[in-house]
Chain A
Amino acid sequence: MDARLNEFTVPQFTAVAAPPPPGEAVVSLRDFTRRFGENTIISGLDLEIGAGEFVVLLGRSGSGKTTLLRTLAGLDPVEGQDVTVPSSRAVVFQDARLLPWKKVWRNVALGLKGADSRDAAQDALQEVGLGHRLEAWPLTLSGGEAQRVALARALVREPQLLLLDEPFAALDALTRLRMHELVLSLWRRHRPAVMMVTHDVDEAIALADRVILLDGGRIVAQERITAARGAERAGIAAPLRQRLLSALGGVVEERPADVVALHAGARP
């Protein structure tokens, strides 16, 4: 099983050679640094994300994950640094950020041009299983439904790069697993490059082509996972999980990889 893993764990404070992404890179950062006043949050970071690649950015709270994601989203100034991102991007935040005064389908169609924007919104909502809530007000949605609308709103733009910032952190465990399935099926159908931020190791293992571990604004480890998602992945989960946790500096406890196994059981 381990043969399927290419391990890219590197000592801290040295440049990390990014593994070659499949296909051409849609995201590329060279020696990227981000400061807030005196505080350097991200320093000397190199990152490439290939077209259609599913990257999960893992790190403890405050490690700079959101800061990096905001840079890729174009929400923060890059001040002349070497940052390449595709022009079509979409972001899903932890809070769905739907406009409460617009009905669900208008939220999805927000900013779309053309007469068929309602049809496009309807199709996208059907894809996330909310075709029946087109006319609902956002404040009447559950947390999971709101995140599905946010996903639909992101995907209706057919972005080349989909950015997800801890999108399921506020959801209960079962809803979260369903959302994993949904994200994967949407990703397979639309094939955007994805960068998803999480602090949940199991979530990272279940979803990623490549896990990037961020700590103190540096990439401290990367793992490419070639095992197919689902049952096959559950087999390699335990050692991978241990490696990621120890790289995070966390306490590695022996625990069956039940989350991944459960995930495998729910495989489409």
Chain B
Amino acid sequence: MSGLTQLTKSLGRTVGGARWLSPLVLLAVLEAGSRAGLIPERTLAAPSKVLATLWSMIVSGELADNLWVSSLRIIAGLVIGVSVGVVLALVAGLSRQGEVAVDPIMQIKRTIPTLALTPLFIVWFGIGETPKIALIAFASIFPVYLNLYSGIRGVDLRLLEGARSLGLSRAAQVWHVILPGALPSLLVGLRYSLSISVLVLVVAEQINASAGLGYLINNARDFMRTDIILVCLMIYAGLGLAADGLVRAIERRALVWRPELVPA
């Protein structure tokens, strides 16, 4: 008797504390709704159908091909945007004249929502790969710039003075003190840039693409294939998670000296 109560109790505790439960319940409800005909497929495909579509797209290679195209756009855009952001932040962070020249422009740029530039970029760059990459690059400049710039300016002046008192040259101070000190901020900026680049990718690929995740979604929309749309949404979410994981991995390697990461 008491054994049974305990079992129910412990079961209740496990289930009660489980954060994965409510999403599963939601999926079950959706599945049941679809099967019962309450949710038409053109509104929302059943979870089982979405999984089946995902599987067939994996097997046919359709998913990998389009994901590859989208990834190349993100990588190209990020490489350009992050490089430009880093260079501008170094210029503005390390010299007064640089700050006067660069920072006002960057603050103006910040007030313009990148996606509002889409029409202008199409006029300038046409509808090929260039405007897509340019949009991603443009959007990813600012988070890197802002964080690295404030990271450089926020470097502990006492450490800098300590290095100066040992006779280190300005270049050596930048290399040994300022840049390592600003690295954590740079990584924060990088994380923002990565997630923004996925966001911009979604919109950029609506521009007349013939391949890529956005192309898949547009096509699916025309044929009202909600299952494919949902598969693509899952992939977008996966991209965001992967980007975050990447920066975390970099942080673990680059910031081993931090107290919370140092084994006591």
Contact = CB atoms under 8 A, between A and B. Distances in A.
Interface in B156-193: 158-159, 161-168, 172, 176-177, 180-181, 183
Contacts of A111: 163, 166-168, 172, 176
A90 B258 CA distance: 27
Interface residues of B, number: 23
A33 B181 CA distance: 35
Contact of B258 (A75, A139, A153): A139
A49 to B, nearest CB: 17
Contacts of B158: 93, 95, 97
Contact of B262 (A73, A91, A137, A153): A137
A201 B137 CA distance: 63
Nearest to A153: B166
Question: Binding site of A, secondary structure by majority: helix, strand, loop or mixed?
Answer: loop
Interface stretch (A98-106, A227-235, A259-267): A98-106
Interface string A68-100: 000001110000000000000111010101011
A45 B51 CA distance: 83
Most buried by B among A75, A91, A101, A153: A101
Contacts of B37: none
B165 A137 contact: no
A140 interface: yes
Interface in A100-156: 100-102, 110-111, 137-140, 153
Interface of A: 73-75, 89-91, 93, 95, 97, 99-102, 110-111, 137-140, 153, 157
Given A89-B165, A101-B255, A157-B166, 10 more contacts: A75-B161, A75-B164, A75-B165, A91-B166, A93-B158, A97-B159, A101-B180, A111-B163, A111-B167, A140-B264
